[in-house]
Structure 1
Amino acid sequence: MQTTGIVLAAGKSTRLGRDKLSVTMPDGRSLAAWTLEAALNSGLDQVVCVVKPEDSLEWVSEVWLRTSSYTYNPESRFRIALCRDYSGGMANSLHCGIWTAMEYRPKGVLILMADQPLLTTEEINHVAAVLGANPMCDYVSGTDGEGGKPPVAFRSHMFGPLLSLHGDMGARKMLRNPKYQGVQVTLPQESFWDADTEPQLQRILNYAEKRMWREA
């Protein structure tokens, strides 16, 4: 099943008070690079990264930047999408990602938050595979036992409802709507950790360092 990944990286980092995307992780890569590269190393057919126009993209590895495209190019799997109205809320970033993904005519999209760096390539592949294996569902979401959460994959017939969101409404609104039927995939709790505040960021950094030691 052709699935395009959408990495939402155009947030304002208001609660953290500094640019979370460029925070250095224990291995020297940036926080958002962990998320983006997990997606790029997955089985997703394309990966669209939604960013602010003023983003320097210094947090993206030069290796990946060389393979990227800012316009539709069937030969390039990595697409950078500039969201010029990102300040209007998360829905605008989501719209930008959906419209860009639609150029590739995928059967579904898988939405990722750039500030959840502990999500792994294997978990991304798992969510995408479950969407492909359940043709009657509208979406597949991750869960830690407390409801559906990103990463979340939607079938193409859900693009319209997603494009109807506005302001700070994110994809979770779809998950709470009884009109739509979904499958939840249990993922490790840390896969959902985001970096909205300094304590949350420190928790991520501490866990990432321990995981690196375990994998060494």
Structure 2
Amino acid sequence: MDASKPRARRPATTGNPAIAIAVLAAGRSTRMGALNKLLARFKGKPLVRLAAERALATGRRPVFLVTGHMAEAIEAAAAGLEVETIRNPAFDTGLSSSIKAAIQAVPDGSIGLLVHLADMPTITTDQLAAMIDCFLAMGGHGIAWATAQGRRRNPVIIPRSLFEAVLSLDGDTGARRVLEVSGLPIHEVELGPAANFDVDTPETLAAAGGRFD
């Protein structure tokens, strides 16, 4: 499935199964020096706010904002949005701790969790919605995984059946290993360069149009 091209947006309907979204925004942003990349402005908005708004625009709920490093400033940047904040006290142990914190908050009625990294400024609402459509087409019994030119990247949708396995993760590993050995069908959603682009350095941030006030 190729979701890298614009498409007509289809809002979520109340008849669809619930899917939670986690916007991960807890990291230290160490390669940016003293600055936090998630507070850089893109199109006049802090990057973390832009990521949360795009997740919310899919119509899916709940949308979690997982914070840790500079939590107060990150949460202030997303103030007024319909997100549920989760503070991850173990954020400095790595990415898996934020994924686990979100999984533990997913309501019983949700069939999966879309994990979206907040430092990916070119991921659009339409692309997130395309991944959700793919996941729903599998009935929530598989994995929807974003690709860039066929290579698995981010975001990803984790089905409820793998939550317990993901909760066993440690460190900065993400969920890749658990997903790849799960035996569940994996449907790849081609997002193009957006799935492989994050802003980890001042150079990539500036190239993407971000700036600090």
TM-score band w.r.t. shorter chain:
0.7 to 0.9
Q: Which amino acid aligns with 1:173?
A: R
Q: Deviations over 1:74-123 (max 9, x none)?
A: xxxx211010111111111111011011x343111100001012111111
Offset of residue 63 of structure 1: 3.0
Look up the SS of the partner of 1:168 in the other structure.
coil
CA distance in 2, matches of 1:186, 1:140: 10
Offset of residue 45 of structure 1: 2.3
Q: Which amino acid aligns with 1:86?
A: F
Alignment correspondent of 1:20: 37
Q: 1:131 touches 1:139 (CA, 8 Å); kept in 2?
A: yes
CA distance in 2, matches of 1:177, 1:46: 28
1:95 lines up with 2:100 in the alignment = yes
Number of residue equivalences:
192
C-alpha distance 24-54 of structure 1, shift in aligned 2 (>3 A): closer
C-alpha distance 198-175 of structure 1, shift in aligned 2 (>3 A): farther
1:173 lines up with 2:173 in the alignment = no
Offset of residue 11 of structure 1: 0.5
Structure 2: runs of 5 or more not aligned = 1-16
Offset of residue 127 of structure 1: 0.1
CA RMSD of aligned residues (A): 2.0
CA distance in 2, matches of 1:136, 1:33: 28
Alignment correspondent of 2:4: none
Q: Which amino acid aligns with 2:208?
A: I
Alignment of 1:145-160 (within 5 A): 145-160=149-164
Alignment correspondent of 2:146: 142
Moved over 4 A (4+): none
Structure 1-normalised TM-score? Answer: 0.81
Identity of aligned residues (%): 26
Offset of residue 199 of structure 1: 1.9
Alignment correspondent of 1:202: 206
Q: Which of the numbers 81, 86, 89 marks the counterpart of 1:84?
A: 89
C-alpha distance 178-106 of structure 1, shift in aligned 2 (>3 A): closer
Q: 1:11 touches 1:86 (CA, 8 Å); kept in 2?
A: yes
Look up the SS of the partner of 1:179 in the other structure.
coil
CA distance in 1, matches of 2:178, 2:195: 21
Structure 1: runs of 5 or more not aligned = 68-77, 209-216
Offset of residue 40 of structure 1: 0.9
Q: Which has the higher contact order (CA 8 A, sep 6+)?
A: 2
C-alpha distance 135-168 of structure 1, shift in aligned 2 (>3 A): same
Structure 2-normalised TM-score? Answer: 0.82
Alignment correspondent of 1:126: 130
Offset of residue 181 of structure 1: 2.6
Offset of residue 3 of structure 1: 0.3
